[in-house]
Structure 1
Amino acid sequence: MTTIHRQQLLSLLSDKLNPELVQDYCPNGLQVEGKAKIGKVVTGVTASQALIDAAIAAQADAILVHHGYFWKGEAATITGMKKNRLQALLQHDINLFAYHLPLDVHPELGNNAQLGQLLELPAIQPLTGIQPAGIVMQGRYPMAKTLAQVAALLEQKLGRTVLSHSAGEQVVQQLAWCTGGGQGYIDAAAVAGVDLFVTGEVSEQTIHSSRELGIHFIAAGHHATERYGIKALGEWLASETGIAVEFIDIPNPA
């Protein structure tokens, strides 16, 4: 079985994602140290107990996720749920690697880039004026679609029902998006003049912004819109190193 040293894996991931260029709310990279030699990696969206248990069952040496631990503002104590998760990782000597915003914004493997592919857009680019660059993307359909057509496409690709809100005439040609919890960017998207803003979550005020700014809105699920970056990163890692990489999707309706 092909193996890679933990530090070499960390260097590969860091060189690809450049976490030092992004100011984030959590540490990116190796969050929990495990065994030195890695032959099997499990990828997933969030380092939940269910994913850890699945990785243990799969005899993984490392877990690579988008949502890891040690978020800014969270309690520093290792108790309860956090204690159980860390204990399971340490008992089985499993490394935990996590990349948050660096994975969102990567121009090829990122969550936003991958969602752009699912939206079947021929070309995408960052929405100007938003930092970090790539946290909101924009694209244009060569031929206009209806809001219902875009919503149906997302439902087919993501395998779930989306929340769709029309702000009037249903024509959609120019759109912007931010995977995950990006509903706060709807105002910037409206200022940019796009017809539709797509994200993972919705807040009460989001619908008022949609109505009053005249921009269509779709919430397609935080988890659903962020499955594809970590999956693409794992596939790239497997092709680069030859180690075994398995994507495990832990269902989450949010």
Structure 2
Amino acid sequence: MQRDVLVRWLDDYLKIREFKDPSLNGLQVEGKTEVRKIGVSVDAAQVIFDQAAEAQVDFLITHHGLFWGQPFAIVGYQKRRLERLFSAGISLYTAHLPLDAHPEVGNNAVLARELGLQGLEPFPHPRYGPIGFVGHFATAKPLAEVIDRIGELTGMQPLLHQGGPDEVRRVGVVSGGGAGDVGLANALGCDLYITGEPSHAHYHEPFELGLNVIFAGHYDSETFGVKALAARLEEEFGLPWVFLAHPTGL
């Protein structure tokens, strides 16, 4: 498949240009014109680029890219990263907020569906817009059961700050660094809020608001989107893909 055709399809499908995002979403590094194999990963880093080259990936899609709105010198490890991509002819495509927000293959939509949440509606982030989702269980579910399910999905033990009840029904989901949105989750009537990594600055809020918060890990809560997007590309274009894993523990 032609690289530029794939890029146009991704830009349209993910609505890349509709988001105010510090990330440079879209094609960040141009590689081979022909795409035969796709790699997907959470982060753009040397270890991922090495894995992609070894797996003979032509087109790499990451959630976190190389460029975040500020110029930097192409020296040291930044130079080595780009050299690896250029030498292997690998294109780098990044979808940050667009892959959090997408209603079909987004991190939050996929996690919400995997948990069995119904009636999904947008979680209106005050800065970035509707990048997460709020939904409900058909009947109240034990908090311990939700924690166990998240552990099954991520392969990691989530962190719980239990400020609320032992059974939950209305749930907000914002992957990654959503610890600062505990107050908004409470205002939206959630009795459980699921996000990625914790924050000391917001530690006390769940307990004082009477809200349960599960921290599923920044990395672990954001593997869902790239995998779902890769599966969608395989369905649409028949392109084989590989998930390049490198958990950060955060």
Task: Please say whether Structure 1 and Structure 2 have the same fold, judged by a TM-score greater than 0.5.
Answer: yes
The residue that corresponds to 1:149 in the other structure is: 145
The residue that corresponds to 1:92 in the other structure is: 88
Q: 2:52 aligns with which of 52, 55, 62?
A: 55
Task: Report the TM-score when normalising by structure 2.
Answer: 0.95
Q: Residues 135-157 of structure 1, C-alpha deviation per residue, up to 9 Å, x if partnerless?
A: 12111111112222211111122
The residue that corresponds to 1:169 in the other structure is: 165
Question: In structure 2, what is the Cα distance between the partners aligned to 1:118 and 1:245?
Answer: 22
Pairwise CA distance, 1:165: 1.3
Question: In structure 1, what is the Cα distance between the partners aligned to 2:224 and 2:199?
Answer: 23
Task: Say if 2:69 is the partner of 1:72.
Answer: yes
Pairwise CA distance, 1:205: 2.7
Q: Residues 195-243 of structure 1, C-alpha deviation per residue, up to 9 Å, x if partnerless?
A: 0111001011322110111111110101111001000101111111122
Q: How does 1:1-254 map to 2 (within 5 A)?
A: 4-73=1-70, 76-128=72-124, 130=126, 132-254=128-250
Pairwise CA distance, 1:80: 2.1
Residue identity (%): 38
Q: Residues 82-135 of structure 1, C-alpha deviation per residue, up to 9 Å, x if partnerless?
A: 111111001111111111101110010101101102212133111257454431
Alignment RMSD, CA only? 1.5
Letter in 2 for 1:40: K
Question: In structure 2, what is the Cα distance between the partners aligned to 1:144 and 1:61?
Answer: 46
Once the two structures are overlaid, the 10-residue window that deviates more, 121-130 or 180-189, is: 121-130
Secondary structure at 1:44's aligned position in 2?
strand
Question: In structure 2, what is the Cα distance between the partners aligned to 1:184 and 1:68?
Answer: 22
Letter in 2 for 1:180: G
Q: Is the 8 A contact 1:190 1:215 kept in 2?
A: yes
Secondary structure at 1:165's aligned position in 2?
strand
Question: In structure 2, what is the Cα distance between the partners aligned to 1:83 and 1:53?
Answer: 14
Question: In structure 2, what is the Cα distance between the partners aligned to 1:122 and 1:212?
Answer: 28
Q: Is the 8 A contact 2:115 2:149 kept in 1?
A: yes
Task: Report the TM-score when normalising by structure 1.
Answer: 0.94
Letter in 1 for 2:225: G
Q: Is the 8 A contact 1:238 1:245 kept in 2?
A: yes
Distance 1:180 1:130, change over 3 A: same
Question: In structure 2, what is the Cα distance between the partners aligned to 1:129 and 1:51?
Answer: 30
Pairwise CA distance, 1:251: 2.4
Pairwise CA distance, 1:72: 2.5
Question: In structure 1, what is the Cα distance between the partners aligned to 2:118 and 2:184?
Answer: 23
Q: Is the 8 A contact 1:165 1:216 kept in 2?
A: yes
